[in-house]
């Protein structure tokens, strides 16, 4: 392998991410040992496909956590984008254009989060705590609290985007492309370096001439656009717009990023780790079904996984600190 190829590989994958891969493989094997049907290729692909929607949200959350920020409104942005696009399509707009409008709407809602926060000088976690309810309320109001149905299911948008490519659901391919692009941006571009610099030391970043407000708005806009993109994949899959969909997705996206190895202290992030974290959450949820555990225990299981991931990250950091001291 040439030095340039190794450099590119280093920008895409990190050693830390292999630990998350090992945890995922171990989890799958444990479930498969008790329920061999879980190891069926179609079942595993289905787990990844179901995790793709949260995985795309987690990619955006990685950037925010790397800046010591959070977006609690991504689940509501996701739902409002779906409802908005579905309503446009229901009224005769071409589904491809409706989907593009849904992504733009998501980006706009993310930008609104950023501009509100900068206007009133409050952290994004407070701003998005408010817009979480605001955007969800708009989704319910626009749809009158009902599912937006009667969409042209036979249109190419629904059959292509909601179908498979080479035997793999299209959302999985989109997730892989998003993760690859955002990984290269985060680790190999000036914008990515800016995001990490702000998370490492906001004051030093400000003194070096970095515009914290502009970068914060840009990252929140990115998060909103990814929520819109994930929403359009969901719209294509279900061919309807449910205003209640995505409840709790913001917490799952945060959990996926943390499980994947993105620290809450900021300064670094792993997009691939966040994708793997989303797949781990999906694997846990599917495993509970195989073991006959009621779906109401999903949140409990998610909380346990988050605590274990945070505890493991803390332990590894202490060991590294002790090793460097010695």
**Residue 125: CATH number of its domain:** 1.10.3470.10
Domain assignment of residue 131, yes or no: yes
How far is Cα 176 from Cα 173, in angstroms, rounded to an integer?
Answer: 5
**Residue ranges, the chain, pLDDT below 50:** 1, 3-12
Answer whether residue 74 is part of any domain: yes
How many domains in the chain? Answer: 1
Q: What angle do CA 304, 305, 307 make, to 5 degrees?
A: 65
Q: What is the pLDDT of residue 230?
A: 96
What per-residue confidence (pLDDT) applies to 317? 65
Q: Which residues 6+ apart lie within 8 Å of 205 measured at CB?
A: 194, 197, 198, 212
Q: What is the pTM (predicted TM-score) of this model?
A: 0.89
What is the helix (H) or strand (E) element at residue 165, kind and residue range?
A: strand 164-165
Query: Quick one: pLDDT at residue 132?
Result: 95
pLDDT confidence of residue 5:
46
Q: Which two tokens stand for residue 34?
A: 């008790």
Q: Would 231 be classed as within a structural domain?
A: yes
What pLDDT does residue 292 have? 83
Contact by Cβ (8 Å): 298, 44: no
pLDDT of 9: 46
The pair phi, psi for residue 194, each rounded to 5°, is -65, -45
Residue 38 CA: distances (Å) to CA of 69, 112, 173, 286, 311 = 37, 43, 22, 9, 28
Q: Is residue 319 part of a domain?
A: no
Token digits of residue 282: 């999906």
Q: Is 283 among the domain residues?
A: yes
Q: 138-160 pLDDT, tens per residue? A: 999 999 889 988 899 889 999 99
Residue 2 located in a structural domain: no
Which residue range(s) make up the domain with 136? 16-26+38-314
Asked if residue 164 is part of any domain, the answer here is yes
Distance between CA atoms of residues 302 and 258, nearest Å: 12
């Amino acid at each position: 392998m040439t030095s340039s190829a190794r450099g590119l590989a280093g920008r895409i994958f990190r050693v830390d991410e292999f630990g998350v891969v090992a945890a995922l493989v171990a989890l799958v094997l444990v479930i498969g040992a008790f329920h061999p049907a879980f190891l069926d290729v179609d079942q595993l692909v289905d787990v990844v496909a179901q995790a793709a929607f949260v995985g795309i949200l987690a990619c955006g959350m990685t950037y925010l956590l790397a800046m010591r920020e959070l977006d609690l409104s991504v689940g509501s942005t996701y739902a409002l984008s779906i409802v908005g696009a579905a309503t446009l399509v229901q009224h005769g707009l071409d589904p491809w254009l409706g989907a593009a409008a849904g992504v733009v709407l998501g980006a706009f809602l993310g930008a609104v989060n950023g501009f509100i926060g900068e206007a009133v000088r409050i952290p994004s976690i407070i701003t998005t705590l408010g817009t979480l309810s605001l955007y969800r309320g708009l989704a319910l109001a626009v749809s009158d609290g009902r599912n937006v149905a009667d969409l042209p299911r036979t249109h190419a948008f629904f059959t292509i985007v909601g179908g498979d490519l080479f035997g793999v659901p299209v959302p999985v391919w989109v997730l892989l492309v998003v993760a690859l692009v955002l990984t290269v941006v985060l680790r190999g571009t000036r914008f990515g370096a800016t995001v990490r610099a702000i998370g490492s030391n906001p004051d030093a970043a400000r003194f070096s001439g970095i515009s914290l407000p502009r970068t914060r708005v840009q990252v929140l806009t990115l998060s909103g656009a990814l929520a819109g993109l994930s929403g359009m994949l969901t719209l294509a899959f279900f061919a309807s717009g449910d205003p209640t969909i995505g409840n709790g997705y913001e917490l799952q996206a945060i959990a996926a990023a943390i499980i994947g190895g993105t620290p809450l202290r900021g300064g670094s992030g792993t997009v691939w780790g966040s994708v793997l974290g989303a797949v781990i959450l999906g694997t846990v949820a599917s495993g509970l079904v195989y073991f006959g555990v009621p779906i109401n225990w999903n949140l409990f299981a998610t909380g346990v996984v988050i605590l274990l991931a945070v505890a493991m990250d803390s332990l590894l950091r202490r060991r590294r600190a002790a090793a460097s001291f010695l």
